Structures are given as structure tokens and as C-alpha cells.
Structure 1
């Protein structure tokens, strides 16, 4: 039996009935790198305004629970992990990874409470990250391109911390027409903006893709050379996307990003680059370029956007041809939110009838 108090304990800013929030509930989200969750220590994180504790049980299995013990409301992240169980810091209650209280120090001989005093979320590890969903995901975690291809070198970059909405951040990532203005001398030419960003959006049930378009970049990759490059974008979820930048006949530079929607106005930007050339490129150069583009330049402009939440009604903004992916993205997120809202309304109607 789940305690009704769980739904009332929420410290986030998000309107949990808003379409953008509802669109994210059932998604998988990167919340932290796996290496940052050690055995024997609880780790607090925040996702969609929800305070969560991560901890490892037997065999290193990662668990994601609401950071709240319903006995007296203490945060479990202030406790400890002992004998593969998490221990509440207030009264020392022990919980196994099934969420069951197995020991109450004040009453060691009494039967432990039948009610669950913790709320568990789904958590998996993949690609070096911990992924969490506070809802019911309908698919596996989004892919990272060429992850299993040994011809591609992979580098994790970031994280970068934004005081901005995660949807705004991903919309910026998938927008190439800002390159000359926000990234002059790197991703675009400030004195000669590209007029070649013409593409179509291919809409699938679970992702968005673009056809190819070409731009000129003065600092096209970590080699620091100018190139005319060909782009494709792939949006795999409302908070995960990647670009395939073709820098030569058979040379590809993939930039994959995942945004953690910490709260309505806070996000964490995670990056993985994969490329099949330039094996001698200094990893330091990769980090330096990514930090300038994503950690400084993009962050500056996205944090300045208003309103914080990305409008899902396309009539509330102006759009041009090069915004086709952004328009499709807004419509897709809105549709996901409306679908979740209908599911909730349907469930409430059934419960009322019963």
C-alpha cells in the first residue's frame, strides 16, 4: 500500500498539470553519471522538481526513491547505506531495495509496518549514466549513435548547469540558424550568415528527424579548421537529441545531448561526442570547444529567454522556414502532454465510477 502523503510532498516550481510537465513524466531522463553514485552512500538529485535519493543495493544495483521517509518526513539522502540497505537518519529505520522496512531499532522484536513508507521510481544504467523515470516509460532509454561501433571514439563532455527550462535548452541545441550570431567564428560566420538551412522534418511515432542541410563553420570541430559541413538532426525524446555532422566523405561527428529537467527553470546539459576520424585529436581540445559552445555561449542566450517555459502553442511565437524542426518539436511535446493528461483524466473517471 502506497502512502497518500507522497503526492503532497513536492518542492518543485513546475505546475504538475501543465502540458510540458506531463510530456516529461513518462520519459527516461539522465540524472547523473554512474561513477558519481558510489556504493555505501546515498546521493540526492532533483528531477522535475522531485527530490530523489539514489543508492546502490546488493550487486551495485542503483535505486531511485523519493527522498522522503513517510514515518516522520526525513530525507533519506541524509542517512546512510548499511549492509545493502538504506537507513533513515531520523529513527534509523532500515529499508531493503524492495522498499520494505525490515528493521525498526526502537522496536526490534515487533513486526515492521505493512505500509510502504518509501516511494520508488524506475532507474537503469546505460552509456555511463543513471537514467530515472518518475512515471511509466513506454520504451528503452534513447540511443547514443555508434555506441557499439569501435571505429568511433567516444568522449563524455560537461555537465553544464543552466538556469533555464530543459525544453528551451533542447530547442536551442536543434536550431542551426543561431550559429552565426551566438557562435561567430566557431559554428558560424557572423558577417555572412548561412542561407542554406533548408530541410524537411520526418515525423515518426517516437522521434523526429531532419533531412540534410549544409552550413559553413570556421571552427568545425576540435581540429580548429573551417569546413562546409552537412547536418542531420535526430530528436529521440523531449530531452534527448543528437546531430550527425558530416565533415568529409566518410567522416562523421555525432554530438549527442541529454537535458536533465531539474525543475521548471533549471536544467543540466550532458554531452557525448562520437567521431570516426582524427584519432589523434587531443581530448582537452574537445572539452574546450564544447565548454565554449554549450557551457558559455548557448547558456547565456537560453537563460535570457522569456518566458522560462517554452510555448507549446505555435501561435505564441513567430516562425520561419529554418524553424521547421522547432515547430515540429513543440507540436510533438504538446501532443505527448495531451496524451498523458487524457490518461490521467480517464483513470480518474474510472476510479470515480468504481
Structure 2
């Protein structure tokens, strides 16, 4: 049996992609910004320019399909958040560092603002729309008199908390390392988002995405910025709840592990699902020390049942580093 070789310090950023290198922070931020831009253009643009006789695609379905497409295109680079609520859920669940989470949210805001700016510019070229800001009001999140069915602040707050919690829970569950269906995560998250958008549309254009809410508010009438706080506070609370629950599941799994299990395996699973995809803090960790030959053989045996899951896991994490 061959003796494992530790990874040299110069290879810490090597990863699982086909090119042998882990995407850098700038690449991940670019993917988050571009993916969020796509979500905003599709999620706001379709309802803005919908004509029932020629555009039968509902805005909620368009938003969900955009999430699926963006995750399929960019999740292997950044993890496919495109939403500050999802980023916070990953932070609370222990999958991403604080600095990286803050950078992700900044990139998402930039991408969302760029998408809304592009739509605003298009609106200004349409002669039948004299006031682009008034047109944006029709797709901007709001409550009370700015809700389609006059939903009160409490009602919109509750649906945002609930919707964000469900969305983050679907994301965390589908992208967990132990989920053998992880490759289907873009479809599950996209469908969940479409259903939630359909629920929130009449209640107050609830977006369950603070970046999207901010982008539309910037180009709407002044009331939108005054109500924007709710569409940050509520989804972040929901995301935090989902993250805590998911972290509790991981802790419970660790507590019920068998006595002869390798403690390092439980520790890794408890807080690092998908972490290889975007946790900058891991770049600073030294390479793992090689195990003795006997333990190396045991690790191979323990990991054998996981072989069938590599394809799904690699969708987000890429293949594991070779020891």
C-alpha cells in the first residue's frame, strides 16, 4: 500500500476543477455579480415588459428559470448564491467565512444594481412609458398601499421571513455533501424560488432577495427606499433561522456518530459542506499531515461507499484533492 503524500504549501489553491486550480476570490465574486445581474434582468424585466397576448411566460416562472440557469452556469465557480439571504444562511451554517460572505453580498448588490440600471435605460427608450420610475413601481417590493392587495407590513414581513427560510433550507439541503441528488440543486432551488415568487407577487412583490429588492427600489419612486428595510430584515431573519436549523442537524449527526468512527470525518461534515467552493479561510490552513499507512487504508475503506456520490458532490465542490 502506497504511503500518502501531503500537498505542498504551494498547491493550497489547487482544486477540483478540470484545470486543477480552485477559482480565486475575484472569479467567485464575478460569478456572483453576473449571476445576480441575470436574476434581476429576468425577474424584473419579464413582468416589466409583459404583454399578455405576446408574452405568456409568468414573471414568477421567469425568475425561477433564471435561478436554475445561473446556478447551472456559475455554481461550480462560486457556489451559486446570487442572494444575500442564501449567503447569510451559508454563513450561519458554517459553510463560508465572514469576510467572504461580506464580499459575496457586495458583489450581489453590484450585479443587481447593474441589471436594474440596464432595464431602466431600456424603459427610457420606450415612447409609451413617459416615466420609467413609475413603471418600476409596478415590480418593486412594498407593503400597505404599495401592495397589490393592500397587505399590511406584518403580513409582508411574515411571508418574507417564511419564504426566505424555505428557500435557504432548500439550498442548504440540496447542496449538502451527503445529498446524493446534489446535481439537481439548480432545479430544486429554481422551482422553489418560482413557487415563492408566485406567492409573494400579490402580497407585495416579495422578492425573497435583498439584492433584487434594493436594485428595484433604487429606480422606483421615493417610497420604495423608505420601505426597503423590511426586505432586508425579514429575509435575513428567515435565512438565519434556516442556517441555525441546518447547523443543528449537522451537530446532531455528529453526536449520534458511532464510537469507532473517525472524529475528523464528523468534524469535517458538521461545518464544511461545499466550503471548498468558497471559504477563503481554508486557504490559510496548512496542508494536512499524512496519516500512518494503517489509518490510510482504513480511510480508503470508509470512503468507498461515497464513491457513487462523487459526481453529485463534484458539481459544486469539484473532485477532492488527491493525497
TM range (shorter): under 0.3
Q: Give the number of the structure with larger relative contact order, counting CA–CA contacts within 8 Å between residues 6 or more apart.
A: 2
TM-score (norm: length of structure 1):
0.25
